[in-house]
Structure 1
Amino acid sequence: MRQDIREEVRRFMIEDIKPNFAAIAQQYNCDYRTVKRAYEEAQQPQVEHHPKPARPSKLDPFKEKISEKLEIGCSAMAIFKFIEKHGFTGKYSIVRDHCAKYKHHQVHKATIRVEHTAGLSAQVDWKEEMTLYNNEGRSFTFNIFLYVLPYSKLKYITLIFERSQDTLFNCMDDAFDHTGGVPSEIWFDNMKQVVDHAKSDIGQRVVLNERFKQFSKDAGYQPIVCRVFRPQTKGVVEALARTTERLRVYNNEFSDEVDLINIVDELCYDLNHEV
C-alpha cells in the first residue's frame, strides 16, 4: 500500500469527510479500489500488541552460582551435577547452552588483539594424542610439539611419544636452533609442564613451575601463560595445530616410527616453504 495514498485518506478522516475514491485515484494515478482499501484500513481500530512477559527459567535461581563456577574454569557437566544436588530440576542441555553463551561472551569481551613484532614472540602448544595406522594395521598414538614465530610464521614441529617436562625442554632447544635464536617472550597454554596447578587459581593467579621458570631464565625469554578459554591470544599456534590434520592422509601409508618421524619432518619443511 502506497504511503501517499494513506496520508491523503487520513486527511479526509481528520476533517470527518468521506473521500471521493475515484477523484483521489485519478489524482494519484491508481485504481479506485486501492484508495477504498486504504480508507477501510484506516477505519479499523488500532490494536496494541503487548509483548508477552518472559517465562521464568528453571535456571534463574542458579545463574549467579553458575557464573562463579565458570570463572574458575568448571565444565558445563560439572556445574550441572553440582546445581542438580542443590535443587535444579531442569535438563543438562539448558545448562550447557547457558555456559556456551557465557563463555562466548566472555571471550569476545575480554580478549585483546596481540600485535606481532619481528623477534618479539613465539607460541608453543601440543597436538595431543593423534592416532594413525601403519600399512599392517598397527596403531601409533603420538603427539606433536608445535612452535611458531607469529611475525614471520616460521614453524618448527616434531613428533614425540610423551609430553614430559624434559621433552618440552629438548623440543624448545631444537626449536631455538631451527629458527635461529630465542625470542623475547614465548606464549604457552595452561599446560602442566609449565604451570604449577596446585599453587594456581585458574583464571586468577598463575604460578609457574620452578624448574620451568629456571629453564626460561637460562634460555633468556619471558614466559607468558594464556588464560583458560582464551585461545585467540595464541591463535597462530592454534591454527598450526589444525594444519597438522594434513597428516591424516598418511593413514596406512607408513611402516614404523622412523617413517612417521620422517613424515612429520617433511610436513614441517613443506609448511615453511609454501607460499
Structure 2
Amino acid sequence: ADRNGVPHTFSIFLYVLPYSKFKFLKLTLDQKQDTLFKCLFEAFKATGGIPKEIWFDNMSTVVDHKLSDFHHHRFNERFLSFSHDAGFHPIACRPFRPQTKGCVEALARTMGRLRPYDREFSTINDLNSIVNRLAKRLNHEKSQSNNQKPVELWAKEKEHFRSLNPDLTRYFNSVQTRKVSRDSMIRFQNHQYSVSPNYIGKEVEIKPTTDGKTIRIFYQGVEIQKHDLTNKQFNYDLHDKHAILKSDLMEDKTDEEINQYMLNNLSIYDQIGE
C-alpha cells in the first residue's frame, strides 16, 4: 500500500545471471506475454547481451500447461519463436530441483528487501524508483554464495554473451488493446495517457512508433490521440484536459472559465485520475 493506505497490485520481473549473480529487476503492472518479452529485451540490454540458455519458472506466458505434465514441459509457440529469434535455449524449471530452489530463494530474498517500503511511497513512479535503486544496491553488494560483488564478476561474464537482436522489439511493440478508464486514461508501460472522455469504457488500440518514443491511439481504425512517452505517471493532452474538466469537475462552467482554471491550476492534472 502507498502512504495513503491505497493498495497497489504489481509484479516483479527478476533476471539473474548464474555466474556473477548480477540481477535485473523490473516492476510491471501485468503479467502479459508482451510484457515478459519487453522485460527480457531490457534485461539483455542491461546485462550486455544474450546467454546460451535461460531457465524459466512454470508461468503461462512461457509454458503451455494444456500440453504439459509434471515430467515434461511444453513451451508455447510464440515464446519458442521469441527464444529462437533471440538465440537462447529455454529450460523449464521443475519443482524440488536444486536449480529451482535457488531461483525461488533469490526471488524471496529480493521481495523481502521490498517489504520495508510498504506505505513509504506515494505513486507507482516512486515504487519503480525504489525497485531500480534496490537492483543497483544488490549488484554492488557482496553475494552470499561467493563473497564477491556481482557487478565485478559480471564484467567477465558478459564477454560470453551473444549480441542483442534489435528486431526482437516486434514481439512487444505490436498493436495492443486497452480499455479506457473512467478517468479517460489508458495505461501503457506503467504510465497513463489521456484520450477524450467520449471513449471512456471503450476498447482502443495502441501502436508504438518504430523508434519507441511515441504511441498512437486508435478507435475502430481511426487515430484519436498521440502521445510522446514520458516518465510522468499521468500525461494529458491539452484538449483532453479541457474535455475531462468539462465532463466532471467543471461541468457547469464556460469554456473561458475552464481555460482560465487550467492556466491557474496546472498541477491539478497530476492529480486527476488518482
TM-score (norm 2): 0.50
TM-score (norm 1): 0.50
Higher helix share: 1
Higher strand share: 2
